Structure 1
Amino acid sequence: MLKRYCGGFFLLLILSVAVHAQSRNDETNYLYGKELLKKEQFAEAANVFEKLAVPDRQSQFAAYSHYYYALAEFRQGHYEKANLTLLKLVESFPDWSDKQEAYYLMTLAAFERHKPEVAVDYLQKIKSRELQTLATTAADHYLQQIHGLDTLRTLYQKYPANTSVAVAYAHQLQFAPRTPENQQTLEKIRGQLPAERLNALGKAPEQKARYRVALLLPFEVKAINPDDINRQNQFVLDFYQGVQLAQEQLKNEDGEPLVELFVYDTEKSPENVKAMAQWPELRSMDLMVGPVYTNGSLVLTPFAQQYRIPMVNPLSENAEIIEGNPYSFLAEATLESRAQAIATFALGQFKGKKVGILSGTDRRDTALASAYQQAVEALGGQVVVLEKIDGRLNSAVKDVVERLQKAGVSHVLVSSEDAFMAQNFITSLELLGFRLPTVAPGSWLRDATVVSLPQWERQNIFFFMDNFADSDKKAVQDFQRRYMSRARLIPSVYAYQGYDQMMFFGEMLKKYGTGLAEGIHQEGYWPGITLTGFDYSQGNDNRFVAVVKIEDGTLKIVNAPTSAAFEFQKR
């Protein structure tokens, strides 16, 4: 009996010592994890807290370890994992004293996962006044980024008393069609908002008879040599004359000129742009076109946001220019948007998920190839062949084509504008008798001496292009006639860009007035007049990337919305 008793006593003693040792180790690891968080070593911190975040673990640190584990995952951008950990936290520790902190982080994680209804639902559970203020600020930021009335209307119907939802919805209603229903809802919201929240709506958009448009372009007037036919700034002059032709065509309701142009010579100098931003007259503009170069654009973007003046870079695809700024736009698609558009089309068009990517050696070629790989994988595809080669090497191109054939890919993206790559690729396909669905740059079509149109048509080749003007199209012929009458030159692609961009943004000014920056997201796809069109429904870069195919000697856009579909005749 004594032996049994003593045995039990020593067992309890051993367990007590073990629990004490575990507690001491837990405390050490817990403090170490917090130190890692302070140093922003989030991956390492997550590893520490994951081991401590066990619901049935006999530790005083279990609840807080869940929270800090979720925080470490959140700071790494792992929002789904953070949310799942927080759900486990509030379910396992319903009486946890800092549960409000969990709801706040759950709100942020839901917004980051683009689930605004879930986010607002969590926000409603926050009772702490301090955290409510922080959550409301976050909600204002995220909800203002939602484009389109349907999502905000649904949110408002479910949470009519939430001021962040009401402000975001009212803000969009200001730029929506002025129907009786929209106006009635807008006035209702204005009546229910407290005075301090009314200021968040900003100034209502204004309709004008004439809009002031600044052109901030590198004319380099001082360096122009009239006798030099190969002027470096010729593209700027072409663009400008295209803009002028659009200006002549744009009229207000009274038939008067809609747009007044103010021209500034930036001379490729960020310092010049910085100085111009100090000029009071620039603050009176309704739209700024330019600067062209990224460094100049980045100088002006804070100005555009501060004074709420839409700014359009006409030629760049650099996403940095529009990042975090609702008043900065690109007339082109970013590299990432271009890859996303092409991948969405290709994976929907061609059967199978196996994809090949063939890239040239140019930095832009490899950047698009990398963005395309990410887009394909995000959409559920699998890149099974990824090669970077010199397109001039016929044998190397042929080897890759053979690998693509053996791998059984559904399609291949060729990321190279090199004419040698185009010729060697199409020749390899024909030698192997391999008809592979291919997406390639539209620049391959420029030189018919490299590959003939019948050769392209025999193969299953699709071309992506942003700026294609067909000389058989009536609108293009009209533009060419007007342009040559003015400039005594055949229009370059920059002339078409200047014309179409000014026509588009001019029409947006006419429709939305000073609310262009918000209203433009309501438009959807807008077919171009001489080029392929615009779409800002999903962001601040032009998301429409035309994909064309030759059929019966005709270049046809195959990815335009049905209501706006049109075709280009053979050149």
Structure 2
Amino acid sequence: MNPKLRWLILGLIGLIGLLPGWTAMAQVPADLQKRYKAAVSQLQRSEYNQAKSELSAIIQRGGPLAPYAHYYWSIAAFRQRDFSQSRLMLKQLTSRFPDWRKIDDAQYLLAAIAMETGQYEEGLTNLQRIGDPGLRADASKLEQYFLSRITDLNRLKQMHREFPENRAIALNLIDLIQRTSTDKDDLELSDRLTNRFGLPATTSAQPAAPVANRPASSATPPATTRPTRPKGYYNVAVMLPFRLDEFDAGKRLRSNQYVFDLYNGIKLAKEKLQEEGITVNLFAYDIENDANKTLELVNSPAFSQTDLIVGPLYAEPNRIASAYANQNNIVLLNPIATSSELIANQPMSFLVQPSLARQAQQVADFIRQPGRPATETGTRRVAIYFGSARKDSLLAASYRDELKRQNYQVVDFQRVAGSAQTMASLMLSANASVSARPSSSSVSTPASLPTVSLNHVFLASSNDEDGPKLLDALSRRRVSGSLIATSAAFDYYRNTLSTFTRRSLYLLYPDFIDTSRDIVTNFGADYLASRNTIPSVFASQGYDMMLFFGRHLARNGGQIRNRSALRSDTDDYLLSGFDYSRSNDNQIVPIVRYEGGRFVKIN
């Protein structure tokens, strides 16, 4: 038996007291009191046979000492590992003296005997009968010691079905699944149990203390002690606006469908990680724009076991979660955001996507490469156009600032709207510094306008009608030079092939997926089989994100040690991978071009 448990059993002798109350002892003959004290002393000295002999005599004579003698006789037999005789004596005790003031101690010992002999269900039933709050902590230790020895997963699952409210069973079942099982149903069971009961105590992390008497908008989550080495499993908190109160299983088109797609991709990555020996537990939290709910969550004891945070998407909940991540040295992922503000002065916050500033910088670096737009013409003049969305103008402004730092001349910078003819009439009309080659005609018509020579044109738009319209407008305005546009400015299913071939066209495409790759084809087939639908780009992003950072957790325990190694080193990602070697936004910014009947990544 475990030494601590052995001390606990024998220690109950002192807890019960050597004698009953003084009133009861007054009714006990002096010689019987003497024999009783001698038996207890013998028991404490491990002289079990002598103690049992004296205690048997006391039992036969009855009186106030009889229930104590029953109990101590059972202790002696227990210490001799004569569990059957110990159990029989305890059953006699509970039958004859059901109202004995220390009956809970007898139930505890009955539970220990049952568990020693593998009768765990009987032992748990005995422990449930204990009403003394002072014994509950010892009962929990007893449960944990014996239940942790169970290695039969089916047995432990059956016990959980019989005792669904028992936390010790749940925690040991979680631990056993995480250590031994790769079955999908088992892993889902582990997730459900962890959501309800928390996690087995495997680290020194302490539960977070609640923040009281402070408004949520200014409250700072508490810090906990984080493990500094890899462990056997990792807990990921997915804090996204699932809006479960509005969920309709029969509804296929939801305003937040991207959230479920992200989560489905994350779950498939979890299965892939399990194949690699990396166990990830997912905890989905329905978090919208509610700062108080977010603060309550990060202050909860179960959240202190979190190793990675995904989300939240809204500003104030994200601020609270970021503060918690920084204080507790936990990586926080912003899965779809592109704002640099989310990672400014936030060492543990990462953008899964490249920020708009990063995209602008990478495009500017791209045009300086040999054979790229900057070398196709001799001019350094550039025109920049953008759509109506806020992120369009932000990206355009970032690109303008980046070009100016590289001594390019931005000759036009404006929002595009209306038809191609309207775009053409406004394009470059107010800028006389643009070089142009005179046409042979002196009549100012679209067909006879002078050719305007630019290094390239940049279009930042989220409207898939703006790309084709701008191409038409550039032709009407007789503007030469390449077009670099955001991929969202085109509809790849509706636009004709000539849309992508009639001009030197490059697409800034952060979420580019090369569908010719086997890994992409296989993922699509697996997703279709499991979800009965084809995966969206958000599903692919969720998969890649969880796969990359799950591997990072396994290698480094979640710690950011070597920045140069914080980049994808395999080609089994659906998109283009990750690189955080220099900053906390993804530095990989794909640029593609239509070649050989398909889009090809050229940067």
Query: Do these two structures clear the TM 0.5 threshold for a shared fold by scoring above it?
Result: yes
The residue number in structure 2 matching 1:152 is: none
The residue number in structure 1 matching 2:578 is: 534
Question: Which of 381, 394, 397 is residue 370 of structure 1 equivalent to?
Answer: 397
CA gap of 1:405–1:388, structure 2 versus 1, over 3 A, is: farther
CA gap of 1:336–1:391, structure 2 versus 1, over 3 A, is: farther
The residue number in structure 1 matching 2:422 is: 395
CA distance in 1, matches of 2:568, 2:278: 26
Structure 1 residue 259, shift from structure 2 partner: 1.4
CA distance in 2, matches of 1:276, 1:245: 26
The residue number in structure 2 matching 1:327 is: 348
The residue number in structure 2 matching 1:469 is: 513
Contact 2:385 2:458 in 1 (8 A): yes
The residue number in structure 2 matching 1:460 is: 504
Listed as ranges, the matches of 1:236-315 within 5 Å are: 236-251=259-274, 256-315=277-336
Structure 1 residue 399, shift from structure 2 partner: 4.6
Is 1:360 aligned to 2:395, yes or no? no
The residue number in structure 2 matching 1:318 is: 339
- What do the CA deviations read for 1:164-218 (whole angstroms, capped 9, x no partner)? xxxxxxxxxxxxxxxxxxxxxxxxxxxxxxxxxxxxxx98841222222111111
CA gap of 1:447–1:552, structure 2 versus 1, over 3 A, is: closer
The residue number in structure 1 matching 2:407 is: 380
Listed as ranges, the matches of 1:85-484 within 5 Å are: 205-251=228-274, 256-348=277-369, 349=372, 350-351=374-375, 352-397=379-424, 399-400=426-427, 406=436, 408-431=453-476, 434-449=479-494, 451-484=495-528
Structure 1 residue 525, shift from structure 2 partner: 5.5
The TM-score normalised by the length of structure 2 is: 0.55
Secondary structure class of the residue paired with 2:600: strand
How many residues align structurally?
A: 354
The residue number in structure 2 matching 1:512 is: 556
The TM-score normalised by the length of structure 1 is: 0.58
Is 1:544 aligned to 2:544, yes or no? no
CA distance in 2, matches of 1:460, 1:480: 31
- Bigger Rg, structure 1 or 2: 2
**Matched residues, percent identical?**
28
Contact 1:217 1:264 in 2 (8 A): yes
The residue number in structure 2 matching 1:121 is: none
CA distance in 2, matches of 1:211, 1:486: 24
Q: Please, what is the CA RMSD of the aligned residues?
A: 2.4
The one-letter amino acid of 2:263's match is Y
CA gap of 1:271–1:405, structure 2 versus 1, over 3 A, is: farther
CA gap of 1:420–1:322, structure 2 versus 1, over 3 A, is: same
CA gap of 1:301–1:395, structure 2 versus 1, over 3 A, is: same
Structure 1 residue 233, shift from structure 2 partner: 2.6
Structure 1 residue 445, shift from structure 2 partner: 4.1
CA distance in 2, matches of 1:446, 1:389: 17
CA gap of 1:366–1:432, structure 2 versus 1, over 3 A, is: closer
- What do the CA deviations read for 1:470-498 (whole angstroms, capped 9, x no partner)? 33321111111111111111211111111
- What do the CA deviations read for 1:346-365 (whole angstroms, capped 9, x no partner)? 23332243222112233222
- What do the CA deviations read for 1:249-292 (whole angstroms, capped 9, x no partner)? 1137xx54421212222144232212111112222211111112
- What do the CA deviations read for 1:359-393 (whole angstroms, capped 9, x no partner)? 22332221111111111112232212222231535
The residue number in structure 2 matching 1:523 is: 566
The one-letter amino acid of 2:415's match is K
CA distance in 2, matches of 1:444, 1:388: 13
Secondary structure class of the residue paired with 2:514: coil
Secondary structure class of the residue paired with 2:557: helix
CA distance in 1, matches of 2:404, 2:475: 29
Unaligned residue ranges in structure 1 (runs of 5+): 1-201, 560-571
CA distance in 1, matches of 2:477, 2:339: 39
Is 1:502 aligned to 2:546, yes or no? yes
Structure 1 residue 335, shift from structure 2 partner: 1.5
Structure 1 residue 248, shift from structure 2 partner: 0.4
Contact 2:400 2:410 in 1 (8 A): yes
CA distance in 1, matches of 2:531, 2:572: 22
- What do the CA deviations read for 1:108-149 (whole angstroms, capped 9, x no partner)? xxxxxxxxxxxxxxxxxxxxxxxxxxxxxxxxxxxxxxxxxx
Contact 1:412 1:439 in 2 (8 A): yes
Contact 2:227 2:557 in 1 (8 A): no
- What do the CA deviations read for 1:204-250 (whole angstroms, capped 9, x no partner)? 84122222211111112122122322222321111111111000011
Structure 1 residue 337, shift from structure 2 partner: 1.3
CA gap of 1:525–1:446, structure 2 versus 1, over 3 A, is: farther
Structure 1 residue 528, shift from structure 2 partner: 6.2
